[in-house]
Amino acid sequence: MNSPPFHKDVLKIDDIESLVGHITEKLKQDVTEQLQRYGGVVGISGGVDSSVTIALAVRALGAENVLGIMMPERDSSPDSLKLSLDLADQLGVKTVVEEITAALDGFGCYPRRDDAVKEVVPGYDPARQKMKIGLKQQAAGSGLPPLFHVTVVNPDGSEIVKRLPTAQLRAIIAASNFKQRSRMSILYYHAERMHDAVIGAPNRHEVDEGFFVKYGDGGADVFPIGRLYKSQVYQLAEYLEIPESIRKRTPTTDTYSAEQTQEEFFYQFPFEKLDLLWHGFENGVEPERVSGVTGIDPKEIELIYRNFTRKIRTTAYLRMPPINDYEI
């Protein structure tokens, strides 16, 4: 059996025009024929994934049939809203801004989360301190299950970092997930009132590794970039003339009050390296060959592969539809 090709440019898209044409034609067909909807609703966040998604939707359905929705809350970066509005203006799409802080207050999102933080960092004061949670990068190649930590940032910039026990980790994540689920509700409200489809923005890593909230940002009718690696999303972003301010922006969760990258929250690697590691893992490329391209020790790559397998297994329930095989 021939080994699959593997080199630093293995994920470069050779004919990007054809790929964009294929995606947009399929998206148009999916929305108008399979889903039988008039157009599409896209939640835009100022990140590259949602920006590419709405640009593809405009090509597929026409700007007049696409609605961009921004859903900031009190922990969101102001840059997210500004970048989203600038992009929508460039694309010529209508927009709606839905402030969801009040809804999250109603769910008790913030106090539920903050109470869990206080159990780990006594004296945590959300009025003057910021917080985030994340994984330690060095654990990715250790062979051990990754451990989450909470970081509390003081007004002077100093940090308090504590390992998160399971109960508090689950409470923080469960409370934070109100944000994505509230946004999903807003998207479907607008989609249903206009007889449109909700067009989701998860990329390949988010879908396959489980970096999404079930019935939150994982709740959509179609995922046009769901099989694209992050580096390929950036290739499309350049081709689609997504503003450089978005393409150069560091991928962020934009979920917690302290600034945080997706790398430190979940992925543990910069996307350029993660893409190669994941591609090698998916295609059974030997660690020695991956090592020659990434510079990572082969033994560490073996452990990273195991960590990927663990992520797929532990997040499998996120990708499962409701179980409906009960016989009567």
**Quick one: angle between helices 271-282 and 230-239, nearest 10?**
120
Residue 177 has pLDDT above 90, yes or no: yes
Q: What is the pLDDT of residue 144?
A: 62
Strand partners, 70: 97
pLDDT in tens, 272-321: 889 999 999 999 999 999 999 999 999 999 999 998 999 899 999 999 99
pTM higher than 0.85: yes
Please give the backbone phi and psi of residue 130, each rounded to the nearest 5 degrees, phi first: -115, 165
Q: What is the pLDDT of residue 120?
A: 98
B/e letters for 124-152, b = 16+ CB within 10 Å, e = fewer, are bebeebbbbbbbeeebbbeeeebebbbbb
Q: Where are the domains of the chain?
A: 16-105+172-258, 109-169, 269-315
Q: How confident is the model at residue 4 (pLDDT cuts 50, 70, 90)?
A: confident
- Please state the length of the chain: 328
Task: Please tell me the distance from the alpha carbon of residue 237 to that of residue 241, in angstroms, as a whole number.
Answer: 6
What is the assigned CATH class of domain 16-105+172-258?
Answer: alpha beta
Mean pLDDT value across the chain: 93
| Consecutive H or E run containing 76 | none
